[in-house]
Chain A
Amino acid sequence: QKEVEQNSGPLSVPEGAIASLNCTYSDRGSQSFFWYRQYSGKSPELIMSIYSNGDKEDGRFTAQLNKASQYVSLLIRDSQPSDSATYLCAVSGGGADGLTFGKGTHLIIQP
């Protein structure tokens, strides 16, 4: 059974600092990796996708993938109070079936 593990938090980070969110997955055949942000009561929205080892940067967000260690991370630079949300890590095997999600990390940015 495919599993995706995340620390549930809450992770509290001061405004302007770097927030680091981590995720591990069990299926070595996983090919696609995603980070979604979910505000309370809302549906998940895509933040980043990453498919190959290394770093991928998009604005204040950087996704990091290490397939050998089965590890994915998301860094948020210059954290803002609006970044306070639950961050979901999701993994795909590459087929048409659905994503496997972690339970999410609750991030709190303290002003």
Chain B
Amino acid sequence: SQTIHQWPATLVQPVGSPLSLECTVEGTSNPNLYWYRQAAGRGLQLLFYSIGIGQISSEVPQNLSASRPQDRQFILSSKKLLLSDSGFYLCAWSVTRGGETQYFGPGTRLLVL
């Protein structure tokens, strides 16, 4: 069966510091991978998605970036965090056909102070 991991689970970072969040998927090959952010009182916002190694699509202009160095690894990064980057970051995967069900990881709760 498929499993999705995210770490760290929680993170407190000062404004202006860098960020690296990691997501890995087990039990499937060539998945579509997604990063979402859920801010307090707001819905889930799609940040990035990837259909393959090195292929990243950005949905929202911001100071975040994503990379997919391996088939089942997806990384979310920032060079300098803003207060507005605080939120619950969720990684999700789906099969490659598109339009299919997405399954979420446990999430990383980020607080920028």
Contact = CB atoms under 8 A, between A and B. Distances in A.
A and B are interacting partners: yes
Given A44-B90, A103-B42, A104-B43, A98 B102 contact: yes
A34 interface: yes
Nearest to B51: A96
Contacts, number: 61
B49 A97 contact: yes
Interface string A86-97: 001010111111
Given A43-B106, A88-B44, A95 B101 contact: no
Given A45-B104, A46-B103, A49-B101, A99 B46 contact: yes
B26 interface: no
Interface residues of B, number: 26
Nearest to B105: A43
A97 B46 contact: yes
Chain A interface size, under 10 / 10 to 19 / 20 to 34 / 35 or more? 20 to 34
A88 B57 CA distance: 24
Nearest to A88: B44
B42 A99 contact: no
Given A96-B51, A98-B49, A98-B59, A44 B100 contact: no
Interface of A: 4, 31-32, 34, 36, 41-46, 49, 88, 90, 92-104
Interface in B80-113: 90, 92, 94, 96, 98-107, 109
B109 to A, nearest CB: 8
A44 B49 contact: no
Contacts of B74: none
Identify the interface centre among B44, B103, B105: most chain A CB within 10 Å of its CB.
Answer: B44
B104 A44 contact: yes
A94 B98 contact: yes
Contacts of A34: 101-102
Nearest to B90: A43
A93 B55 CA distance: 20
Given A4-B43, A92-B99, A98-B36, 6 more contacts: A31-B99, A41-B109, A88-B43, A95-B98, A101-B44, A104-B43
B24 interface: no
